Structure 1
Amino acid sequence: MVFLVNFARVVFAPLLEPLKAAFGVGDATVGLVATMVWLGSALPRIPTGYLLTRVPRHHVVLGTGVVLTSAAAFTALADSIPMLGAGAFLMGASSGAYFIAANPLVSELYPDRVGRALGIHGTASQLAAVAAPLFVGVVLATTGWRSVLGLLAVVAALTTVVFVVVARRSNLPEAGAADRDLWTAFRRQWPIILSGVAIIGATGFVWNGLFNFYPTYLRAEGLAPGTANLMLTVTFAAGVPAFWLTGRLADRLPHVPLMLAILAAFIACLLAVTAARSVVAFVAVSIVLGYVVHSIFPALDTYLLDSLPDENRASAYALYSGIMMVFQAAGSSVVGALTDAGFAFDEVFRTFALGLLAILAVLVVLHHVNRLPTEAATSLEEGTG
């Protein structure tokens, strides 16, 4: 299931150029469509957190499969940009609700090795990002963009049925049974929630804008369309070992220093992208970039889910995830608007790198003076810092 919901989020990156041609629009418009996917992934997260205080986690996961199936079929039939945007939003919504329900469930299934379990779960998710450009390329060579989404709807329907069968035969954990108050979770855990948002919000915004326009950017740098799409695949493929290995590292290393080191490495990679000028250079930087940026997700999820107590875990995670995803979602539309306004991709990405560098400096100072929490509040604390 995680493979499909992430596929639904990333499939629009290799579809942006075909959608521009099909609907006769520019970068800003298709960038907005891509933003709708991520906005859809952002907005249901806090409501899903509230829903999880009333409904078992696996029931919510089942519901996301139904939503994804319907949304993909709807989007495949889109005959206008508003309809396409609405479908993209719903596809994103299925993924947002899924991760809020499934990530706490995974951490509760394997409480003694949270980082490893989340790493494996994230690896399956990342395989979808690797497969998306290849799958889209094959389908576009034979039919059209509508077939991509139609096939997604069919597979999502079949997978949802399989999930129902497996869930009925499994003994699921009850660790989150006491998690029944979203507001209490926020009052108790707001320091670690906001710390997570500070670390990932701007980073996700930049990454969202970069990867959705990565093939377009590389074409502007002189690479052939096929090579540009391959570079996106390379970047996503490098994320597979990142989830696997960093999930294990997150079980062994101090959480905050690990995340800040990854953020510093991402800034360096972003600058390296704008400095690359040959195919070999783009291959090298795409591999390193893909590994680095995808390392931050298992590191941050482990930071939160490994330390949040049972009675706050899903609610606090939903609040963190919903807030940070709002920041991430706008990345594509902002990049599209800036390039349509005449700014070069290199200018945009270098400016983003400088902004991230300023944020990193603030976070390092806060960590040095012990103002970034290293763990969640306990069940007996009220989260004052």
Structure 2
Amino acid sequence: MSTRLNPDSLRARVVGLDALLLTSLLWLLAKFLRYLFPPLFATLQESYGVSNATVGAAFTGLMLAYAAMQFPSGALADRVGSVRVVVAGALVAAAGAAVVAVAGPFPVLVGGMLLVGLGTGAHKTVAIGLLSKVYPARTGRALGVLDTLGAFGGVVAPAAVVVVGVGAGTGLVAAAGLGSVLGGVAAGYDWRSVFLVGAGAGVLLAGLFAWRVPGRVEGEDERGGTGTLALGTYAPLFRERRFLLFVLVTVLFSIAYNGAVAFLPLYLTRAVGLSPSVANLVYAALFLVSLVQTVTGDLSDRVGKLPMIVATLSLSAAGLGASLVVRDPLVVAAVVVLFGVGSHGFRPVRGAYLTDVIPDDVAGGTLGIVRTLLMGAGALAPAVVGVVSDAVDFGAAFSLLFVAIAGAAAVAALLLVRPRERSRRGPSS
């Protein structure tokens, strides 16, 4: 006898995913807007007559604005509610994208970039808390969907740059015979139109989020609370040597990853010799492999978090190090993918490790501080890469990034071989 699906039950399941879908789409848009800039560095240099150091410093400003919002956004959500913070952040990011789309002078463009950083920086920390309220029994799965779907913003961004490039008669897609199709779509548009579309999408998603999600957290603490900005509350844990060493691991990783991601398209074209379109496709592949996050998260529960941290960081270091010496396009693509597998694979395990060692009563604020530190340090990396690449070359700049990621792997290995401290929360589930 066949089993019939209950339409009402199916409808309830679909409706029940609205908060997860909208939160994840806003995260995808946030990463899309941020990662539109690196593939456009060469275009911005030509349009505005600026150097690697200048575009790197501008992107560093965006990332510093993003980093600066991590702790304050969480504390603000405690006071006024997470929905309001997420909606406000989306609208600020949309305004920044609109400014970039119409910017004339370069300082105006930088102003738009800073707004994008501030707006997108208000999302992730708050989204984690919101989803844990809406899906208390499925928080891990919900956060996995959030991170995986969000990572595809980095896939779509360089692809969008390639598509608008087709309109100008360039790009690998045109060479592959698809130019007649996509060229007609992209004709008459340039990179500014992509930001304009992003701004419109941000306003639309913010409106849908404000309409649908408040009802999904009814009964939760959305009326505002008594969150505090007192950093002294979280100081004791940062006096512990083992915890500080792991913070160092996350900071070194963030420096290497953010520096590489910001300049990878230019590095692949100017130092490795790939064409711009091929470089952008390889750049997209770096984000496409983010699906590995679900695998490494599951493996960390079976073999342990620190062993997986050492393994993923070692893969990341191997990929970045190999990119310094290989030149064949297929091999370059393979080592960039290896770097991506290690880097994306590290992230969920990092979060699981921090959740395991941070006491529950200071978890939110401590995570906010750690994210501020790692994002702040990572935000400086593009400026350093820009300066070193101008003064020496991209090879020297990416060699520094390799030293950072190799250092992260070495410190993690040191934590692995030293006696482990008992978890503050008991065995991880």
Counterpart in 1 of 2:149? Answer: 124
Counterpart in 1 of 2:58? Answer: 33
- The one of 312, 316, 327 equivalent to 2:362 is 312
1:6 correspondence with 2:31: yes
List aligned pairs for 1:225-236, cutoff 5 A.
225-236=276-287
2 CA distance for matches of 1:293 and 1:117?
Answer: 21
Distance 1:10 1:127, change over 3 A: same
1 CA distance for matches of 2:341 and 2:219?
Answer: 32
List aligned pairs for 1:372-383, cutoff 5 A.
375-376=423-424
Distance 1:374 1:323, change over 3 A: farther
Bigger Cα Rg: 2
Counterpart in 2 of 1:199? Answer: 249
- When structure 1 is superposed on structure 2, of 307-316 and 95-104 the one drifting more is 307-316
Q: Structure 1: 5+ residue runs without aligned partners?
A: 379-385
4+ residue segments displaced more than 6 Å: 175-179
2 CA distance for matches of 1:36 and 1:68?
Answer: 14
Q: Are 2:80 and 2:225, in contact at CA under 8 Å, matched by a contact in 1? A: no
Q: Structure 2: 5+ residue runs without aligned partners?
A: 1-25, 168-186
Q: Shift of residue 219 of structure 1?
A: 1.2
Deviations 1:223-272, CA, capped at 9 Å, x for gaps: 11111111101111112x12332333344442233222211221111111
Root-mean-square deviation (CA, aligned residues, Å) is 2.6
Deviations 1:70-113, CA, capped at 9 Å, x for gaps: 11112222222222222112101122211110123334444555
Counterpart in 1 of 2:235? Answer: 187
List aligned pairs for 1:145-160, cutoff 5 A.
145-160=191-206
Deviations 1:186-210, CA, capped at 9 Å, x for gaps: 1354358645532221111111111
1:357 counterpart letter in structure 2 = A
* 3-state SS of 1:233 partner: helix
Q: Are 2:319 and 2:337, in contact at CA under 8 Å, matched by a contact in 1? A: no
- When structure 1 is superposed on structure 2, of 78-87 and 35-44 the one drifting more is 78-87
1:271 correspondence with 2:327: no
The structure showing larger relative contact order (alpha-carbon pairs under 8 Å, at least 6 residues apart) is 1
1:57 correspondence with 2:57: no
Distance 1:120 1:307, change over 3 A: farther
* 3-state SS of 1:25 partner: coil
2 CA distance for matches of 1:129 and 1:257?
Answer: 28
Distance 1:65 1:178, change over 3 A: closer
* 3-state SS of 2:209 partner: helix
Counterpart in 2 of 1:238? Answer: 289
Q: Are 1:115 and 1:247, in contact at CA under 8 Å, matched by a contact in 2? A: no
1 CA distance for matches of 2:218 and 2:361?
Answer: 17
* 3-state SS of 1:169 partner: helix
2:414 counterpart letter in structure 1 = V
2 CA distance for matches of 1:17 and 1:85?
Answer: 16
2 CA distance for matches of 1:354 and 1:309?
Answer: 32
Q: Are 2:48 and 2:106, in contact at CA under 8 Å, matched by a contact in 1? A: yes
Q: Shift of residue 5 of structure 1?
A: 1.1
Deviations 1:290-344, CA, capped at 9 Å, x for gaps: 221111222212323466555433222211111111100011111111011023x
1:207 counterpart letter in structure 2 = Y
Deviations 1:129-169, CA, capped at 9 Å, x for gaps: 10011112223433222212111100100010111122133
2:396 counterpart letter in structure 1 = E
2 CA distance for matches of 1:253 and 1:50?
Answer: 35
- The one of 362, 368, 373 equivalent to 2:411 is 362
Distance 1:251 1:86, change over 3 A: farther
Aligned residues: 375
Output the TM-score relative to the length of structure 2. 0.80
2:344 counterpart letter in structure 1 = H
Output the TM-score relative to the length of structure 1. 0.88
Counterpart in 1 of 2:131? Answer: 106
Q: Are 1:118 and 1:247, in contact at CA under 8 Å, matched by a contact in 2? A: no
- The one of 352, 361, 364 equivalent to 2:401 is 352
- The one of 149, 154, 167 equivalent to 2:213 is 167
2 CA distance for matches of 1:179 and 1:308?
Answer: 21
List aligned pairs for 1:326-345, cutoff 5 A.
326-343=376-393, 345=394
1:144 correspondence with 2:193: no
* 3-state SS of 1:275 partner: coil
Counterpart in 2 of 1:212? Answer: 262
1:71 correspondence with 2:116: no
- When structure 1 is superposed on structure 2, of 295-304 and 112-121 the one drifting more is 112-121
2:268 counterpart letter in structure 1 = L
2 CA distance for matches of 1:17 and 1:301?
Answer: 34
Q: Are 2:245 and 2:411, in contact at CA under 8 Å, matched by a contact in 1? A: no
* 3-state SS of 2:324 partner: helix
1 CA distance for matches of 2:389 and 2:339?
Answer: 22
2 CA distance for matches of 1:114 and 1:251?
Answer: 16
